[in-house]
A and B are shown apart, each in its own frame.
Chain A
Amino acid sequence: MDLRNILSEIGKTDPEVYERLSSRRNALKSFGSKVAVAALPLAVASVFNKAYGKTTSVIIDALNFALKMEYFECNFYIQANSITSLGLIPAADQPGFNAIEAHERAHVKFLISTITALGGTPFTPNYYADHTSAPPYIPLAYDYRASSNTVYAPLFNNVFSDYHTFLIAAQTFEDSHIRAVNGQMATWAGNAVFSQMQQLLATEGRHAAFIRLIRRNLGAIAAPEVPAPWINNNIPPSFPAGSSVTSGNIVLQPFYNGEENTMQSGVDISMLADTASTSGYVPVLSASAAFDEPLSQTTYNNLITPFILP
């Protein structure tokens, strides 16, 4: 098939294909008569990589990583919401957690169908048995107490019996989920998936804020944590005064490292004018809070491995 025809066909569905290629002339110049026939497949691939950045398999891999995160969160809320009779979540907050569970279930379904549509094989957690009805609840796959882990076990031991512990876990999971999806977004740049994953990110931002607001309203927050629905600096959630857990902040610090960043696209946000603030510049705390920072796939996987059963 002639490359001109290929570009023309793409142009019908993606009118910007020539802009992506910087110009039609340059694109076609690459395929002048001097290009050896044997070199053509590679050359074609390089042109399309230039236009669309990533191959489909890389896009699918990143979506599967996102799906892994959704399974992890979804199962966490299903488990918490199913034990309301034991008094974990107060009735006043229950509708909110039901909504979050519904969203995470929807995200699992959405990602499965997106990955399938792209010709990929959706990720399945360990112990996932039912491939026909696709229920996202796989209680055997996770240990949210991290009971075999020496670092997290003391922290999350009461995650499904103590509301403070549950909220701290939920906040940590939501914030790091946002950060890890954020870290994958470059993979989807230029693809239709990008906008949808951005929409998913906004929903996760809502979840994190809801949980943080409940913790703020409970008044059970110890310094140096500043009670807020957004991430100030790189401050992890704190356990309330009198809690048997005293090292919570230190243990959870790795989930928040890097959030203190104030540089965006080479611009130091804390040096931008803000006439409303006393310093005349955007306060450092706000400069960091105004942007959620990405986490790499490796960092995120290392952070949640203690919660996933082998």
Chain B
Amino acid sequence: MKILQSSEIERVEELEKIPDPSRRRFFQLAGGMAGAGLLFAACHPVTKPTDIYLGKGDIALLNFLYVLEQLEADFYTKAVTGAYLGISSNEYLALIDVRDQEIAHREYIKSLLGPTNISKPVITNFSGVNFADRASVLQNASVLEDLVIAGFNGAAGLFTDTAYPLSFLKLVSVEGRHSAYFRDALSHNNFADTTVVDINGLNQSMPPLAVLTTAQQFLTSRFDSSNLPQ
């Protein structure tokens, strides 16, 4: 019989605190069975004890969007602090504007979450970005913005409480503005090419988990998305 590793036990204890009867029952059942560790691994193949649990249902979706907005806010904070050499005043002001707008989005979603927000700090990893280089900043900003829009679009239909997506669509068109700005600044007229707008003229949408997986390239933190609606 495999004994649960201490880290796994901690993980189970942590999960025990989550007020989710089905989850709790699962682990009570798993704990009492031979080969529990194997079962654990089979059910959560990618989850590690250090992963940040997003929650379930609407809370998981909100925390998912909260992670995306944290990612953006941190990116632009770094982009403004280490602004590339020879940046024009217009581009510098735009970076400051976008930074403050993303901070507004981040803090707004955090306030909606209240005590259910993931309190653990989300650690970003922008090692692939050269903040001293204009093209690198604009390119990565475009990638981030497009990903975030796709994430909001993918999450919109998954909420139980439709008041959440209703309030977010007001910021989705603003994210569209951001993306178009960075794309066009990088390559004029390229603000809405066929990689982000489909044949119906609709902006790309992606399931939350796919967005989170893609966003991982900018993140050191890892997430337990086992109860993230799909």
Q: Return the chain A residue nearest B185 by Cβ.
A: A213
Q: How far is the CB of A15 from chain B (nearest CB, A)?
A: 11
B174 touching A205 by the CB < 8 A rule?
A: yes
Answer whether residue A228 sits at the interface, using C-beta atoms and an 8 A cutoff. Answer: yes
Q: How far is the CB of B42 from chain A (nearest CB, A)?
A: 24
B170 touching A264 by the CB < 8 A rule?
A: yes
Q: A110-B202, A276-B99 are in contact. Are A286 and B104 (CB under 8 A)?
A: yes
Q: How far is the CB of A119 from chain B (nearest CB, A)?
A: 20
B157 touching A194 by the CB < 8 A rule?
A: yes
The B-contacting residues of A in range 266-288, CB under 8 angstroms, are 267, 269, 272-274, 276-277, 282-283, 285-287
Partner of A209, one of B103, B111, B181: B181
B171 touching A291 by the CB < 8 A rule?
A: yes
Complex: A203 Cα to B191 Cα, angstroms: 10
Answer whether residue B166 sits at the interface, using C-beta atoms and an 8 A cutoff. Answer: yes
Complex: A209 Cα to B191 Cα, angstroms: 8
Give the interface segment out of A33-41, A56-64, A158-166, A184-192.
A184-192
Answer whether residue B12 sits at the interface, using C-beta atoms and an 8 A cutoff. Answer: no
A276 touching B77 by the CB < 8 A rule?
A: yes
The B-contacting residues of A in range 245-273, CB under 8 angstroms, are 264-265, 267, 269, 272-273
Q: Return the chain A residue nearest B196 by Cβ.
A: A206
B175 touching A202 by the CB < 8 A rule?
A: yes
Task: Write the B166-205 contact mask toward A (1 if CB under 8 angstroms, else 0).
Answer: 1101111111111111001100110111000101111111
Q: A204-B176, A272-B104, A290-B105 are in contact. Are A198 and B201 (CB under 8 A)?
A: no
Answer whether residue B112 sits at the interface, using C-beta atoms and an 8 A cutoff. Answer: yes
Most buried by A among B108, B169, B193, B199: B169
Most buried by A among B102, B193, B202: B202
Main secondary structure, interface of B, reads: helix
Complex: A209 Cα to B97 Cα, angstroms: 14
The B-contacting residues of A in range 106-139, CB under 8 angstroms, are 106-107, 109-110
How many A-B Cβ pairs are below 8 Å? 206
Interfacial chain B residues near A200, Cβ < 8 Å: 201-203
Give the interface segment out of B25-33, B119-127, B148-156.
B148-156
Interfacial chain B residues near A95, Cβ < 8 Å: 189
Q: Return the chain A residue nearest B149 by Cβ.
A: A202
Interfacial chain B residues near A189, Cβ < 8 Å: 162, 165-166
Answer whether residue B94 sits at the interface, using C-beta atoms and an 8 A cutoff. Answer: yes
Answer whether residue A96 sits at the interface, using C-beta atoms and an 8 A cutoff. Answer: yes
Q: Return the chain B residue nearest A216 by Cβ.
A: B90
Answer whether residue B133 sits at the interface, using C-beta atoms and an 8 A cutoff. Answer: no
Task: Write the B73-110 contact mask toward A (1 if CB under 8 angstroms, else 0).
Answer: 00001001000000000100110010111111101100
B181 touching A213 by the CB < 8 A rule?
A: yes
B162 touching A209 by the CB < 8 A rule?
A: no
Interfacial chain A residues near B202, Cβ < 8 Å: 110, 196, 199-200, 203
A290 touching B101 by the CB < 8 A rule?
A: yes
Complex: A118 Cα to B31 Cα, angstroms: 51
Task: Write the A23-48 contact mask toward B (1 if CB under 8 angstroms, else 0).
Answer: 00000000000000000000000000
Partner of A194, one of B94, B103, B165, B174: B165
A289 touching B101 by the CB < 8 A rule?
A: yes
B103 touching A230 by the CB < 8 A rule?
A: no
Answer whether residue B160 sits at the interface, using C-beta atoms and an 8 A cutoff. Answer: yes
* 6 CB-based A-B contacts, threshold 8 Å: A194-B162, A201-B173, A209-B178, A230-B174, A265-B112, A292-B170
Q: Which residues of A contact B (CB under 8 A)?
A: 16, 19-20, 53, 92-93, 95-96, 99-100, 102-107, 109-110, 178, 182, 185-186, 189-190, 192, 194-196, 198-210, 212-213, 216, 227-230, 264-265, 267, 269, 272-274, 276-277, 282-283, 285-287, 289-294
